[in-house]
Chains A and B, each alone.
Chain A
Amino acid sequence: AQSVSQHNHHVILSEAASLELGCNYSYGGTVNLFWYVQYPGQHLQLLLKYFSGDPLVKGIKGFEAEFIKSKFSFNLRKPSVQWSDTAEYYCAVTTDDKIIFGKGTRLHILP
């Protein structure tokens, strides 16, 4: 069955540390890949997405993600995190007829 795995359930970092959140999916066909973020008390919102072209995509607030097709991965990165990055992060995959979210990673940044 198709699935999305986020390996890190809860990550705690200090400000200025580098971040990488893992996302792997299982699906053999063409996929579209997303990272959504939910800041405390706010709606889910799009951070970045990939559907074709350059596998390294840049999103808002300095985030980027790299699609590695051979590894079925779409890891999220940020070179230097800020306290305001504290949030829940969700990886999502869409195919022609399916939409699947990962379970999420709770990121907590220490000031």
Chain B
Amino acid sequence: GAGVSQTPSNKVTEKGKYVELRCDPISGHTALYWYRQSLGQGPEFLIYFQGTGAADDSGLPNDRFFAVRPEGSVSTLKIQRTERGDSAVYLCASSWELAGPNEQFFGPGTRLTVL
């Protein structure tokens, strides 16, 4: 079956603009995770969902960042008033259930560049 997909693969925007990043998890996976990876760093946890609800959003850096998963499948990460410091690769992952011992399956990421 298909793996985790993310669109767009690359996004270039201007400072102050709004962007949406999309993630399609593996079918049947109830848990979905968003990470941000800056150059030379490991994935930094942002938020994860169990079904439609955000189980933990403590990693979101500020209120410009928001994520939704209205039907428990596709998720959208929304960034308002983008800043140059938001430039990074945004990774999405999914798993059968909550984190714990479950393997996460990662998508290819969306590379966001804020000019």
A: which residues have CB within 8 A of B? Answer: 4, 6, 32, 34, 36, 43-46, 49, 51-52, 90, 92, 94-104
Given contact pairs A43-B106, A43-B108, A94 touches B99 in the complex (Cβ within 8 A) = yes
A104 close to B101 (CB less than 8 A)? no
- Docked CA distance A104–B44 (Å): 12
Q: Could you tell me if A46 and B42 are in contact, using CB atoms closer than 8 angstroms? A: no
Chain B residues, Cβ within 8 Å of A103? 40-42
Docked complex Cα distance between A20 and B3 (Å) = 30
A54 to B44, CA, bound (A): 29
Write out, one digit per residue, whether chain B residues 95-110 have a CB within 8 A of any chain A CB (1) or not (0): 0000111011011110
Residue in B3, B42, B109 whose beta carbon sits within 8 Å of that of A102 in the complex: B42
- Whether the pair B43, A32 counts as a contact (CB closer than 8 A) is no
Q: Tell whether, in the assembled complex, residue B106 and residue A99 are in contact, meaning their CB atoms are under 8 Å apart.
A: no
The answer to whether A32 touches B101 (Cβ under 8 A) is yes
| Contact yes or no, B42 A49, CB < 8 A | no
Count: A-B pairs, CB below 8 Å: 57
Which residues 63-115 in B have Cβ within 8 Å of A in the complex?
Answer: 91, 93, 99-101, 103-104, 106-109
Q: How far is the CA of A109 from the CA of B59 in the complex (A)?
A: 34
Q: Chain B residue with minimal CB distance to A91?
A: B42
What is the bound-complex CA distance between A99 and B4, given in angstroms? 19
Q: Are A90 and B101 in contact (CB under 8 A)?
A: no
Within 8 A of A (CB), among B1-46: 3-4, 33, 35, 40-45
**Closest 10 interchain pairs by CB?**
A51-B101, A101-B42, A44-B106, A94-B99, A32-B101, A101-B43, A103-B42, A43-B106, A46-B103, A104-B42
Neighbouring A residues of B40 by C-beta, 8 Å: 103-104
Distance in angstroms between the alpha carbons of A77 and B100 in the assembled complex: 23
Using known A-B contacts A99-B33, A101-B44, A103-B42, determine if residue A49 contacts B103 with beta carbons closer than 8 Å: yes
Among B35, B101, B103, B107, the residue within 8 A (CB) of A43 is B107
Q: Pick from A43, A90, A94, A96: contact of B42, CB below 8 A.
A: A90
Min distance, Cβ B61 to any Cβ of chain A, angstroms: 16
Which one of B44, B101, B106, B107 contacts A94 once the chains associate, using CB atoms below 8 Å? Answer: B101
